[in-house]
């Protein structure tokens, strides 16, 4: 019987491993987590509570932008918003905890509520005991990545976690990080708090590596709809406290400099693996680029598997779960002496930009990735404002794009930044992952529904393939 120790069992990746292995009669399972209340990042501080608070600001945004409605836009009651978020979050977290504790009621499954540390690459200490394992799964999630910026230790800064708990917001704010977290949180600051926001963008536009059309749509929308100041092509040089808040110095790509002041600094600068407390110095493990194989095995220890945010590959909820399933299967395979499988997911991402009113969704390859992979591609791009249905829904903002192989019509990728793009993502996942020929996608509209934007993209690409 193989003994598997899962460190970080409350999180999405760890729970996936535990759920897959708990019923295996050939596995003895020890689940370890020091979470309080426990539940994992996504439930407690990530995608679920953030959508809760964004929804409140989205109601105000839609009321404020509809000229058919009279009167002042209602204020967002931050105390009630946070209270409802906390109530729902504790419920979700409790459900996750109960699922792990229920597993621990089974024979050959034990749960230990403590911090785990490696003694060596197959021994873990927790709860005053040492557990000798055949396999160790590290699923400890991630923590905020604080940039190594001169002066950062001298100023008070806030993170997305702080913002989710805030019952008062500043008059002005500086934001470092306009990636996935920043693009969700910046409109919330503006809409829910009436905050004057300046967000620093390193490139020509946000999401610059994805597609220029999407980045331009984001840039225009955030500046016009939310009044956000977004200096582009510049990088932070240093930060310093002022009598009233904080001052951030930047340098532009052309050598020019500038300084911005605000009441508060927010860091939406991404996340890094939360592995500092694991005692990795007692193991051969050396975290860094490619320290975890696509089999989810650690490069330097075949019996250690690292899943979810902890491996630094792709910190996204559904990816964490799928990596957990892959690790569980590969532990069985390794124990039997069978070849291991690699995790190779089709890109599938959703971000609730524009308070979720204009979400961003992407499935499969971008145009640049498809060309780099050797495809002769045909593409189609449509603005939401080109489709009357978006006008009818009063959200005529955004863009959609389809990428297909010109030779055989296979749909390679899709992205959308517009109303209901998040809902369309599953449909497009089926189209992309099943390798459907764009000419076989039914050209049939159900008017007036927002997926008509897909019909236009499909028709244009199908015509290009036929030509």
Residues with Cβ within 8 Å of 236's Cβ and at least 6 positions away in sequence, in order, are: 147, 149, 176, 200, 248, 249, 250
The owner of tokens 């596995």 is 27
At residue 325, φ and ψ (nearest 5 deg) are: -60, -40
User: Mean per-residue pLDDT for 353-380?
Assistant: 97
Q: pTM here?
A: 0.94
Signed CA dihedral, 102, 108, 114, 117: sign only:
negative
232: tokens are 């582009």
Burial of 61: CB neighbours in 10 Å, binned 0-12, 13-18, 19+: buried
Domains of the chain by range and CATH? Answer: 2-144+272-336 (3.50.50.60), 152-269 (3.50.50.60), 358-466 (3.30.390.30)
pLDDT confidence bin for 314, thresholds 50/70/90: confident
User: Mean per-residue pLDDT for 368-390?
Assistant: 95
Give residue 209's pLDDT: 87
Q: Is the pLDDT of residue 225 over 80?
A: yes
Round the average pLDDT of the chain to a whole number and report it.
95
The three-state secondary structure class of 385 is helix
d(CA 179, CA 198): 14
pLDDT single digits (tens) 65-85: 999 999 999 999 999 999 999
Give residue 236's pLDDT: 98
The owner of tokens 């240093």 is 238
Nearest to 415 by CA among 221, 215, 230: 215
At residue 341, φ and ψ (nearest 5 deg) are: -100, 155
Pairing of strands 348-351, 360-364: antiparallel
pLDDT confidence bin for 317, thresholds 50/70/90: confident
Give residue 69's pLDDT: 92
The owner of tokens 């590290």 is 138
Pairing of strands 123-126, 246-252: unpaired
Q: Return the bridge partners of 418, or none.
A: 398
pLDDT confidence bin for 345, thresholds 50/70/90: confident
pLDDT single digits (tens) 168-222: 999 999 999 999 999 999 999 999 999 999 999 999 999 988 999 999 999 999 9
Sheet holding 301-306, edge to edge: 109-112, 27-32, 2-7, 135-138, 301-306, 297-298
pLDDT single digits (tens) 390-439: 999 889 999 999 999 999 999 999 999 999 999 999 999 999 999 999 99
* 3-state secondary structure labels for all residues of 252-320: ECCCCEEEEEECEEEECCCEEECCHHHCHHHCCCCCCCCCECCCCEECCEEEEEECHHHHCCCCCHHHH
Q: Is the pLDDT of residue 315 over 90?
A: no
């Amino acid at each position: 019987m193989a003994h598997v120790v899962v460190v970080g069992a409350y999180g999405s990746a760890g729970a996936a491993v535990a759920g897959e292995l708990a019923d295996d009669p050939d596995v003895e399972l020890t689940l370890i987590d020091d979470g309080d209340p426990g539940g994992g990042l996504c439930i407690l501080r990530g995608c679920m509570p953030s959508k809760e608070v964004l929804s409140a600001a989205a109601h105000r945004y839609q009321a404020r932008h509809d000229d058919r409605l009279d009167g002042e836009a209602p204020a967002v009651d931050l105390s009630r918003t946070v209270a409802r978020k906390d109530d729902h979050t504790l419920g979700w977290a409790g459900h996750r905890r109960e699922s792990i504790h229920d597993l621990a009621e089974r024979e050959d499954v034990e749960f230990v509520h403590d911090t785990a540390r490696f003694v060596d690459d197959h021994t873990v200490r927790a709860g005053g005991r040492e557990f000798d394992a055949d396999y160790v799964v590290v699923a400890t999630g991630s923590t905020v990545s604080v940039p190594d910026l001169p002066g950062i230790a001298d100023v008070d800064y806030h993170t997305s976690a702080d913002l989710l708990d805030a019952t008062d917001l500043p008059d002005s704010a500086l934001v470092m990080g306009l990636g996935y977290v920043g693009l969700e949180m910046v409109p919330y600051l503006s809409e829910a708090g009436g905050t004057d926001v300046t967000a620093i963008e390193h490139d020509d536009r946000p999401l610059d590596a994805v597609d220029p059309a999407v980045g331009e749509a984001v840039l225009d929308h955030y500046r016009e709809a939310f009044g956000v100041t977004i200096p582009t092509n510049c990088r932070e040089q240093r930060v310093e406290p002022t009598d009233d808040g904080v001052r951030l110095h930047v340098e532009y790509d052309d050598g020019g400099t500038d300084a911005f002041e605000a009441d508060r600094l927010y860091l939406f600068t991404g996340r890094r693996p939360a592995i500092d407390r694991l005692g990795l110095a007692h193991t051969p493990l050396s975290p860094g680029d490619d320290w975890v194989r696509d089999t989810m095995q650690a490069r330097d220890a075949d019996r250690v598997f690292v899943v979810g945010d902890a491996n630094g590959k792709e910190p996204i909820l559904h990816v964490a779960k799928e990596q957990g399933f892959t690790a569980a299967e590969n532990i069985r395979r390794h124990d039997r002496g069978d070849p291991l499988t690699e995790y190779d997911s089709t890109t599938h991402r959703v971000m609730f930009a524009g308070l979720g009113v204009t979400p961003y969704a992407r499935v499969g390859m971008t145009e640049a990735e498809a060309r780099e992979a050797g495809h002769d591609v045909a593409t189609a791009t449509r603005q939401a404002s080109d489709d009357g249905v978006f006008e009818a829904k009063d959200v005529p903002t955004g863009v959609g794009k389809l990428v297909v192989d010109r030779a055989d019509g296979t749909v390679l990728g899709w992205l959308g930044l517009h109303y209901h793009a998040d809902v369309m993502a599953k449909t497009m996942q089926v189209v992309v992952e099943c390798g459907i020929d764009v000419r076989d996608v039914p050209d049939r509209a159900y008017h007036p529904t927002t997926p008509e934007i897909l019909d236009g993209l499909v028709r244009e690409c199908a015509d290009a393939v036929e030509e």
